[in-house]
């Protein structure tokens, strides 16, 4: 498979800047991975020219980021906030409604920091999707309110699951 002539051709094509796929096509009967393996075994990692022409990078257009609304003047109904929260039980929604919780600050991906709550509110594919944005403790991605919802003790969950299985066995 790797005759002296094929190895010399491989070296020439590689030095000319062809990609491993292009070299494999030129040689015929070998895969791109076989070419990469042989190049490494021969120690040919350096190239005379790049495998593709360098293109100047275009700057992404800058977008304006709106400032966060003032939580004291920004009002959002508790029902709307609770209904937008992902993976919440009916009980945890009711608990959220009953607490004196300031509505979300409507943070975006661009305004999140390591000290802001990253609890998603709404559907990412829909208009108005945002993150909570309240202050979060260091090392925790959520504000205290959302951390209570996200991090529930395992023992009560296990007990609920055991009770559910016990009722199913009794009923069935």
pLDDT value for 97: 46
171 has pLDDT over 80: yes
How far is 2 from 36, CA to CA, in rounded Å?
Answer: 13
What contacts 101, CB < 8 A, 6 or more positions away? 78, 81, 145
Backbone phi and psi for residue 121, each to the nearest 5 degrees, phi listed first:
-125, 120
Task: Provide the pLDDT confidence category of residue 94 given band limits of 50, 70 and 90.
Answer: very low
d(CA 156, CA 148): 14
pLDDT tens track for 105-115: 778 888 888 88
pLDDT digits (tens, 9 = 90+) for 32-82: 999 999 999 998 876 655 556 666 667 766 665 555 554 444 444 444 444
Mean pLDDT for 16-37 is: 92
Distance CA 71, CA 31 (A): 60
Q: Is the pTM of this model over 0.85?
A: no
- Residues above pLDDT 70, as percent of the chain: 65
- Per-residue confidence (pLDDT) for residue 158, from 0 to 100: 78
User: Would the pLDDT of 151 be above 90?
Assistant: no
């Amino acid at each position: 498979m790797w005759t002296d002539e094929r190895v010399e051709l491989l070296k020439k094509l590689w030095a000319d800047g062809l990609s491993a796929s292009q070299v494999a096509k030129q040689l015929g009967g070998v895969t791109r991975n076989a070419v990469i393996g042989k190049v490494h075994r021969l120690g040919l990692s350096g190239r005379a020219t790049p495998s593709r022409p360098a293109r100047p990078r275009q700057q992404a257009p800058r977008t304006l980021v709106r400032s966060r609304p003032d939580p004291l003047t920004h009002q959002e109904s508790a029902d709307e906030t609770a209904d937008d929260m992902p993976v919440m039980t009916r009980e945890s929604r009711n608990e959220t409604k009953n607490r004196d919780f300031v509505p979300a600050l409507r943070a975006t991906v661009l305004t999140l920091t390591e000290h802001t709550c990253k609890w998603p509110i709404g559907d990412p594919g829909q208009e108005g999707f945002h993150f909570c944005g309240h202050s979060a403790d260091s090392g925790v991605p959520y504000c205290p309110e959302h951390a209570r919802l996200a991090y529930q003790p395992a023992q009560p969950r296990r007990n609920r699951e055991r009770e559910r299985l016990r009722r199913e066995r009794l009923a069935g």
